[in-house]
Amino acid sequence: MTDLIKKVCLNCGKEFIDGKLKRYCHDCLKEKRREHLKSWQRRKGIKNKNCLNCGCELTKYKKKYCTDCAEKLGIYGKSKDIKKICLNCGKEFITKKSVVKYCSKSCQYEMNIKKNAELYHINKEKRKQEKEQEEKETNEELIAKKRREKIWGKYDKLAKKYGGYYAY
């Protein structure tokens, strides 16, 4: 762990406690980031945007509304409660995120164990079938090789004896 150290802000001279390599207090750092963003926007040719509702200047260039107007209009406001049914136990639960599938971590853990067990057995069957298929193919290859040797064996012996095959 890092040790917390008392530091003095290079911009305003205020003391602050930090364990990292920061040189500015929280407020000055926020202002520096805002200035950096504005200079970046100038370099990229991005004009300062204004709120579509009240017309005030926006700090983030991708936003369309300031935070006050967004809360009033309910655009970026708090998410609504969503009723969902747990995929593991079937209980109804309330969440704020649409991607949540389970009512608790324990239900999620149980479901993962079930899924992994199913996948293990499915993969085990696949591996078994693949192994049987490989054995079948190797057996067929051996049988074919023996047939070739039986049929062509006498010709191979003659070819070796007289120096090659002749096509008539």
The mean per-residue pLDDT over the stretch 65-87 comes to 78
Domain ranges within the chain, ordered by starting residue = 1-47, 50-78
**What are the two backbone dihedrals, phi and then psi, of residue 91, each rounded to the nearest 5 degrees?**
-75, 150
List, for residues 116-142, the tens digit of each pLDDT value: 888 888 888 989 998 888 888 888 888
Q: What contacts 153, CB < 8 A, 6 or more positions away?
A: none
Give, for 146, the enclosing helix (H) or strand (E). helix 105-162
Q: Does the structure show a pLDDT above 60 at 51?
A: yes
Euclidean distance between CA atoms 133 and 141, whole angstroms: 12
Calculate the alpha carbon distances from 21 to 2, 32, 44, 159 in Å. 11, 16, 29, 83
30 three-state secondary structure = helix
Q: Does the structure show a pLDDT above 50 at 1?
A: no
The mean per-residue pLDDT over the stretch 15-43 comes to 84
- What's this model's pTM, rounded to 2 decimal places? 0.34
**Sorting pLDDT into bands at 50, 70 and 90, what band is 68?**
confident
For residue 19, the tally of other CB atoms under 10 A from its CB is 11
